[in-house]
Amino acid sequence: MTNKLDIAQLRRLSPLNGLKTDTLLAILDKIELLEASRGQTLFTKGDTDKQTVYVLSGTIVLKESDSIVQTIAGGTDEARNPIAPILPRHLTAAAAGDVKYISIDSELLDVTLTWDQTGIYEVGDFSTEQLKETGNWMAAFLNIKAFQKIPPANIQTIFMRLQQVNYKAGDIVVQQGDSGKYFYVISHGHCMVTRETPFNKQGIDLAKLDVGDTFGEEALLSEAKCNATIRMQTDGILMRLGKDDFQALLKQPMLEWLGQDEADKVIADGGQWLDVRLPGEFKVFHNDGAMNLPLYLLRHKLDMLDPGKKYVVCCDTGRRSSAAAFILKQKEFQVVVLTGGLNQGEL
């Protein structure tokens, strides 16, 4: 089957329509364009294959046993959204005639959404100016209140496992598009964060990083590619922590994961669902009473959140919600993460 998809077709589909054009182009060849004839199934009830499916043309029927529950025709509003996305599949999808449809790996889509939405880099207020001026990077690191929740033994282990790396002015520490390998803390010197766009291959300056600032965590949390380039502005020294150590020593202690029943109890006790998917995804299905605040807007809409409320952060799989929870933890919000995401159960 040849792939003849174009960006215009994908722009009609949610949540693909929330991706930047260059991101869509990057995954275009990963999306399968398929055909089915009358009676052929696209998937069957009980399937657990992590594939996101959309109908482009023709008509499909969703069936419970031999009974037709819903009919979806390509080009309609219903066809803009993934077909029966919750796993395991609750229904069987079959072609009512000749059908063209697309299928994309759900994990790839979720990673891509996470990467795309965390593309706007923001530097946190990790230390006082006095700490930065003295170059006391350890004190600056420990001044992050969210990190103070990490067990003391972990902090000690982190300092033991941090590797010192010396850099010269102009050296590239992290290249946009590379896989995340390390979590960095600036010990001495300054870095510049830049992001390449289709219209500016030289990169747009996004932020200057100083002593005590950290970077690299979002790529490690979302298991996505690095969304910006970090270049040394001056000679400097960085301390770095490997991916496995970051996951074990920082990510796990900082993030609290709850199953569906435990999450429901938090909500019953006055908590709030915080859904960080795109609005198009949220519209299709969501938990009752959930607040929708997409990951890419999170840093800019923190004033919409109540510091006194406990939030249960959710997305499709837990990937975007873990990245969101890490950000919120650094900003001192009370957050837990729904294990496995919304696609793991019924709403």
Computed over every residue of the chain, the mean pLDDT equals: 84
Of 20-34, 308-322, 323-337, give the range with the top mean pLDDT. Answer: 308-322
Question: Using 50, 70 and 90 to split pLDDT, how confident is the model at 166?
Answer: very high
In CATH terms, is domain 118-253 a member of 2.40.40.20? no
pLDDT at 44 over 80: yes
In CATH terms, is domain 7-105 a member of 3.40.50.360? no
Residue 198 burial (C-beta neighbours within 10 Å; 0-12, 13-18, 19+) = exposed
> Of residues 143 and 156, which shows the higher confidence score?
156
For 255-344, give the CATH class.
alpha beta
Q: What is the 3-state secondary structure (H, E, C) of 70-96?
A: EEEECCCCHHHCCCCCCCCCCCEEEEC
pLDDT at position 112 is: 74
**What are the start and end residues of each CATH 3.40.250.10 domain in the chain?**
255-344
Question: Using 50, 70 and 90 to split pLDDT, how confident is the model at 141?
Answer: low
The percentage of the chain sitting over the pLDDT mark of 70, rounded to a whole number, equals 85
pLDDT at 339 over 70: yes
pLDDT at 126 over 60: no
**Tokens standing for residue 4:** 């003849």
pLDDT at position 149 is: 63
CA distance 35 to 82: 16
- Between 98-107, 118-127, 316-325, the lowest mean confidence (pLDDT) is in 118-127
Average pLDDT over residues 192-206: 79
Sign of CA dihedral 297, 300, 301, 307: positive
Nearest to 293 by CA among 267, 327, 264: 327
> Of residues 36 and 245, which shows the higher confidence score?
36
| Amino acid at residue number 165 | V
pTM above 0.85, yes or no: no
**What are the start and end residues of each CATH 2.60.120.10 domain in the chain?**
7-105, 118-253
